Amino acid sequence: MIAQPEIPPASRDFDIMDSEQKKFRAGSVNYLNAAPLTRGIESELVFATPAKLAEMLRRDELDAALVSITEVLLNDRYDILDGIAIASLGEVYSVILAHKKPLEEAVEIFCDTASLTSVNLLKVLFAEKNLFPQFVPLENYEAAREKDFVLLIGDRAIDFQRAPHAHEIFDLGTVWMEMTNLPFVYAVWALRRGIENKELRRELKEAKSFGMETLDYLIENREEYDVDFRRDYLGWQIHYHLASDEKRGIEKFCELLRKHNLGPVFEPKFVS
């Protein structure tokens, strides 16, 4: 294999995001798994949790955001940028229920307040097992290790698993795949309807292409965790395409949200 030259972070121009020409307001999560989708435009984005980004979208403070799929499915005001997602087929590692007791004994599940989709996904997975615990906010991350049942997402979930703990891990991506034989889509680019956003869509697609082209660079040079973990996580556990199988996964999720009265659920609209 021919070695590829290193590509520095600022080696691509994104003219539409230029400070003099900037026309759009966009936001993303500041998690390792989102890094390949924001390659080259990081300085132009607002970074926040999925829940905060969803609030900003609802208030029309952003024109686009990388948000939980639930935000799009439960609110009929966004389009989904086709071809791009944060998804997994099987173990995702960063969306987990950590539990000390058997699942059947769950009365309260403490939930990462940053999450949206993971709460609804866990409700679906539990309802399919005829389990209906209460879902309550986790007061702070330091309290997570004390809880019998705690739902964590993103880098916090990774941190939890990589440190000593007394919990078993219920990986939501693994359980979803075992139940449906489909990928699960955690996040998508949600585009606010009613504005012209052709150039924004182009820039977001180019950022993803750049991230995929330089994924090895990201794996080698990001500072989170160690390179072997980043290689497995970004190169195997997470994938970034949104194609027919991922859309079937979204359709199945919609079906189960409706089945368990977690709606109203709106049909997703994809735009390219």
At residue 225, φ and ψ (nearest 5 deg) are 60, -150
CA atoms within 13 Å, Cβ hemisphere of 250: 28
Residues 112 and 161 reside in one and the same domain: yes
- State the Cα–Cα distance between residues 63 and 27, nearest whole angstrom: 8
Is 6 contained in some domain? no
Is there a domain that residue 100 lies in?
Answer: yes
Q: Which range of residues forms the domain containing residue 228?
A: 22-87+183-271
CA gap 101, 155 in Å, rounded: 24
- Tell me, what's the pLDDT at 224? 93
Q: Are residues 44 and 159 in the same domain?
A: no
Burial tier of 144 (Cβ tally within 10 Å: 0-12, 13-18, 19+): buried
Q: Which of 164, 180, 196 is the last residue of a domain?
A: 180
Which of 180, 207, 228 is the endpoint of a domain?
A: 180
Per DSSP, 35 falls in state: G
pLDDT tens, N- to C-terminus, the chain (272 residues): 333 334 445 444 444 344 334 568 999 998 999 999 999 999 899 999 888 999 999 999 999 999 999 999 999 999 999 999 999 999 999 999 999 999 999 999 999 988 778 999 999 999 999 999 999 999 999 999 999 999 999 999 999 999 999 999 999 999 999 999 999 999 999 999 988 999 999 999 999 999 999 999 999 999 999 999 999 999 999 999 999 999 999 999 999 999 999 989 999 999 99
> Is 126 contained in some domain?
yes
Residue 249 pLDDT: 98
Q: Pick the last residue of a domain from 145, 180, 215.
A: 180
Within this chain, do residues 46 and 161 fall inside the same structural domain, yes or no?
no
Q: Give yes or no: residues 62 and 188 share one domain.
A: yes
Is there a single domain that holds both residue 105 and residue 47? no
Per-residue pLDDT, 9: 53
Tell me if 242 is assigned to some domain.
Answer: yes
Q: What pLDDT does 51 receive?
A: 86
Q: How far apart are CA 48 and CA 24, in angstroms?
A: 17
Q: Rounded to the nearest 5 degrees, what angle is found at the Cα of 133, between the Cα atoms of 128 and 135?
A: 110
Q: Are residues 130 and 253 in the same domain?
A: no
What's the structural domain count of the chain? 2
Same domain for 263 and 214: yes
Q: What integer pLDDT is reported at residue 6 of this predicted model?
A: 47
We report the CATH number of the domain holding residue 199 as: 3.40.190.10
16 part of a folded domain = no
Q: Are residues 72 and 148 in the same domain?
A: no
Question: What is the pTM (predicted TM-score) of this model?
Answer: 0.90
Same domain, residue pair 57 and 108: no
